[in-house]
Chain A
Amino acid sequence: MSAATMTLNNAGIERSSRHTATIYLKEAKYEFLKNLRLRMYTASVLSFPIMFYVLFGLVLNSKEAIGGTGVPTYLIATYGTFGVMGASLFGTAAGLASDRGLGWLQVKRASPMPPFAYFAAKVITSMVFSAIIVLALFTLGITLGGVRMPFADFARLLGTLVAGSLPFSAMGLALGYFTGPNSAPPAINLIYLPMSFCSGLWVPFLFLPKVVRQIALVLPPYHLSQLALGVVGAGAHQSNATHWEVLGAFTMICLGVARIGFQRDQGKLYG
C-alpha cells in the first residue's frame, strides 16, 4: 500500500471520543452564546417571570399565604415553572423552525456534525437559561421576599425545575419541526400561555374554577409546578411519581413527533 493510501485510511477513521466530546461542548457553548446575545430572546425569557414575580410576589401580596405557604415562596415554584417552560420552548422551537426554514440546518447536516449534537446543544442551552431564571428568582425571593428554606430544599427545587425543562425542550423540538420561521413564535404563545394559566402558574391552582382544574391534570406545566410546590411544602394531591410519569410520557410523545418531523424533512425540501 502506498503512503498516499495509508494517509487516506487515517482520514477515514472515526473521530476519537475525546474529539466527539469537544464537538458537543463547542456546539453547546456557541448555541448558548448565540442565544445570550439575542437580546429579544434573553430579555423576554428572563424578564417575564422575574417581572411577574416581583409584582405579584414581592410588591403585592408579599405578606399573604396560600394554603399555608408564604406567597413569595409559593410563587417561586409557579413562576419558576413558567420561566423554565418559556426558556425551553422559545430556545428550541423558534431556533429550530428558523434553521430548518432558512436552510441553515441543511448546511450543518451536510457537514460532519453529529446530528445529535445540534439537538443536545439546544436542550443544554435551555437548561442553562432555566437555571439562570430560577437562581434569579431565588435571589429576589431571599433578599426581598424573606424566603427562608433549608439549602437542600433550594437545591432540590433548582434541580426539579431544571430537569423540568426537558419535557418542554422536547415539546419545542416537536413544534419546531412543524412550524415555519415566522409562525413558530406565535404558535408557541398560542399554546403555552393558555397552558400556563390553566395549570395554575399565574392564578394559583387552588383559586382556579373547578372545570379548569380538571383540565390542568393533563397539562405538563401543572405537573411540573406540583413537583416544585412539593419541594416548598405546598404541593397538593398526587405522589411525585405520578407527576414524573406524566412528564416522562409527554417527553416521549414529543420526541416521537419530532422524529417524524426529522424524517419528513429528508424528503421534502425543494431546491
Chain B
Amino acid sequence: MIATMEQGQNVDTVTPGSIVASLEAVNKNYGNVRALRGVDFRVRAGQIVALLGPNGAGKTTAVKLLLGLMPPNTGRVRVFGGDPTNPENRMRTGAMLQVGRVPETLRVREHIDLFSTYYPKPMSSTKILAAAGLEKLSDRKFGELSGGQKQRVLFALAICGDPDLLLLDEPTLGLDVEARRLLWDEIRHLVGRGKTVLLTTHYLQEADALADRVAVINQGEIIAQGTPAEIKAQTSGKRIRCITSLSTPSLRQIPGVTEVKEDREAVEIHAREAEPVVRELLARDAKLSGLEITSAGLEEAFLALTQDSAKNGNHSN
C-alpha cells in the first residue's frame, strides 16, 4: 500500500475508459526539427487506437516517448499514471519498433525465451509462438527468416510478457495481405482479453479496419481525433464514378462538383451532395454507364486534413 502511494500510480487502470497512456502538451525537437508540437493525446483502456499519418509525421517519435526511450522537451508523458521509464510500467508494456537488425545468430525460441524472462508473468512459449504464427519456425535462426517472419518475431517479443498495453510502430509493414489479416485478428483477440493497443500506421485501410479511435497526425501535430466514422464525416462528400463522354473541364463546371479525377476509362467526381450532380450527368449524357456512388473514404478525409494542415502550418512557421 505504502509503495503504491509513494509512486503516485494510478493502479486501477484495468477499468475500461481510464487513461492508460498519454502525451500532455508535448513538444519534442531534434535540433532544429520540431518532431512533435504541442501534442495532446490519450489512450484509454480496452481500446485499439491508431495514430495515422504520413512518413515523418512524428508517429515513431510519439511511440518512443511513450516507451520512455527519450524525454520530451516540454510537457508530460504518462503510462499507467506514472513515468514511462519506471521498470514497473515497462513490465506491463510491450513494444514493437522498426528495427534495422536483430541478432541473427540466435534462434526464434531463444529470442522469445530471453525477452520472456524480463517479465514477471510471461505467456507460455507455446502460446506466444501460436499467437505470432511462428510454431514451425521456433528453431530457425533469426537471420534465416523472411522479412514477414522477422516482423512476426518482433510481434512475439512485444506480446510475450502478456502486457496490458501494447505499443506497435507500423506493425504490418512488409507483411503480405494474409499475414496482415492474421496480425489484425491477433490484435483484436488481445483487446478482447482486456488489453489496450496503440498502433501507428500510414495504411489508411488499417486504421479504418482496426481502430476504435483514430488520431491523424501530420508534421508533428494531431489534426483530427475521433472514431473512423467521425474522421470521415469531417470531410463530408460523395464519390461518383462513371464512364462518360463528357469532358473533364465541363464536368468541373457542374455546380457542387469539388474535384474530378480520371481513372483509366472512367472519371471520379467528388461532390458535396451526389443527387444534383447525378441528375445533371444523366441529363447531359444519356449513354452514361458504370455509375457508382460511394461515401468519401478515410483516404479523402485524410488527404483533405493533411492538405489543410500543411497550408495552415506554413503560416505558423
Q: Could you tell me if B99 and A33 are in contact, using CB atoms closer than 8 angstroms? A: no
Whole-angstrom distance between the alpha carbons of A225 and B33 in the complex? Answer: 49
Residues on A with beta carbons closer than 8 Å to the beta carbon of B119: 112
Which of A10-18, A72-80, A156-164, A205-213 touches B?
Answer: A10-18
Q: Could you tell me if A26 and B117 are in contact, using CB atoms closer than 8 angstroms? A: yes
Residues on A with beta carbons closer than 8 Å to the beta carbon of B98: 103, 271
Q: Could you tell me if A9 and B11 are in contact, using CB atoms closer than 8 angstroms? A: yes
Chain A contact residues: helix, strand, loop or mixed: helix
Q: Could you tell me if B106 and A110 are in contact, using CB atoms closer than 8 angstroms? A: no
The answer, yes or no, to whether A269 is at the interface (CB within 8 Å) is: yes
Q: Could you tell me if B97 and A37 are in contact, using CB atoms closer than 8 angstroms? A: no
Given contacts A34-B103, A111-B118, A271-B61, contact A9 B4 (CB under 8 A): yes
Which of B63-71, B212-220, B234-242, B307-315 touches A?
Answer: B63-71
Q: Could you tell me if B95 and A111 are in contact, using CB atoms closer than 8 angstroms? A: yes
Task: List which A4-41 residues lie within 8 A (CB) of chain B.
Answer: 4-5, 8-9, 11-15, 19, 22-23, 26-27, 30, 33-34, 37-38
Q: Could you tell me if B118 and A23 are in contact, using CB atoms closer than 8 angstroms? A: yes
Which of B107-115, B132-140, B244-252 touches A?
Answer: B107-115
Q: Could you tell me if A34 and B113 are in contact, using CB atoms closer than 8 angstroms? A: no
Select the residue from B67, B88, B103 with max chain A CB neighbours within 10 A: B103
Residues on B with beta carbons closer than 8 Å to the beta carbon of A109: 69
Q: Could you tell me if A11 and B64 are in contact, using CB atoms closer than 8 angstroms? A: no
Q: Could you tell me if B95 and A102 are in contact, using CB atoms closer than 8 angstroms? A: no
Whole-angstrom distance between the alpha carbons of A30 and B161 in the complex? Answer: 18
Nearest CB of B to A227, in Å: 34
Q: Closest B-chain residue to A31, C-beta based?
A: B103
Q: Could you tell me if B105 and A34 are in contact, using CB atoms closer than 8 angstroms? A: yes
Question: Which residue in A5, A12, A104, A181 is a CB contact (below 8 Å) of B88?
Answer: A12
Q: Could you tell me if A5 and B12 are in contact, using CB atoms closer than 8 angstroms? A: yes
Whole-angstrom distance between the alpha carbons of A102 and B118 in the complex? Answer: 22
Select the residue from A12, A37, A38 with max chain B CB neighbours within 10 A: A12
Q: Closest A-chain residue to B91, C-beta based?
A: A112
Nearest CB of B to A99, in Å: 8
A-B contact count (CB 8 A): 114
Whole-angstrom distance between the alpha carbons of A22 and B70 in the complex? Answer: 28
The answer, yes or no, to whether B102 is at the interface (CB within 8 Å) is: yes
Residues on A with beta carbons closer than 8 Å to the beta carbon of B121: 11
* Cβ contacts B71-86/A at 8 Å (1 or 0 each): 1000000000000000
Select the residue from B61, B91, B154 with max chain A CB neighbours within 10 A: B91
Q: Could you tell me if B60 and A271 are in contact, using CB atoms closer than 8 angstroms? A: yes
Q: Could you tell me if A22 and B64 are in contact, using CB atoms closer than 8 angstroms? A: no
Given contacts A11-B91, A266-B71, contact A103 B11 (CB under 8 A): no
Q: Could you tell me if A110 and B9 are in contact, using CB atoms closer than 8 angstroms? A: no
Q: How many of chain A's residues have a CB under 8 angstroms from any CB in B? A: 39
Residues on A with beta carbons closer than 8 Å to the beta carbon of B12: 4-5, 8
Q: Closest A-chain residue to B15, C-beta based?
A: A4
Q: Could you tell me if A11 and B97 are in contact, using CB atoms closer than 8 angstroms? A: no
Residues on B with beta carbons closer than 8 Å to the beta carbon of A113: 118
Given contacts A26-B114, A30-B106, A33-B110, contact A111 B100 (CB under 8 A): no
Whole-angstrom distance between the alpha carbons of A33 and B101 in the complex? Answer: 17
Residues on A with beta carbons closer than 8 Å to the beta carbon of B99: 102-104, 106-107
The answer, yes or no, to whether B50 is at the interface (CB within 8 Å) is: no
The answer, yes or no, to whether A194 is at the interface (CB within 8 Å) is: no
The answer, yes or no, to whether A270 is at the interface (CB within 8 Å) is: yes
Q: Could you tell me if A102 and B101 are in contact, using CB atoms closer than 8 angstroms? A: yes
Select the residue from A8, A38, A103, A271 with max chain B CB neighbours within 10 A: A271
Residues on B with beta carbons closer than 8 Å to the beta carbon of A15: 120
Question: Which residue in B88, B92, B101, B114 is a CB contact (below 8 Å) of A98?
Answer: B101
Nearest CB of B to A6, in Å: 10
Whole-angstrom distance between the alpha carbons of A12 and B118 in the complex? Answer: 14
Q: Could you tell me if A110 and B67 are in contact, using CB atoms closer than 8 angstroms? A: yes
Q: Could you tell me if A267 and B70 are in contact, using CB atoms closer than 8 angstroms? A: yes
Question: Which residue in A8, A12, A26, A106 is a CB contact (below 8 Å) of B97?
Answer: A106
Q: Could you tell me if A112 and B105 are in contact, using CB atoms closer than 8 angstroms? A: no
Given contacts A5-B11, A34-B105, A102-B99, 10 further A-B contacts (CB under 8 A): A23-B118, A26-B113, A37-B105, A102-B101, A104-B100, A106-B97, A107-B95, A110-B67, A110-B69, A111-B115
Q: What are 20 A-B pairs at a CB distance below 8 A? A: A4-B12, A4-B14, A5-B11, A11-B91, A11-B121, A12-B88, A14-B87, A22-B117, A26-B113, A30-B106, A102-B100, A106-B64, A107-B95, A111-B90, A112-B119, A112-B161, A114-B87, A266-B69, A267-B71, A271-B64
Chain A residues proximal to chain B, CB less than 8 Å: 4-5, 8-9, 11-15, 19, 22-23, 26-27, 30, 33-34, 37-38, 98, 101-104, 106-107, 109-114, 181, 266-271
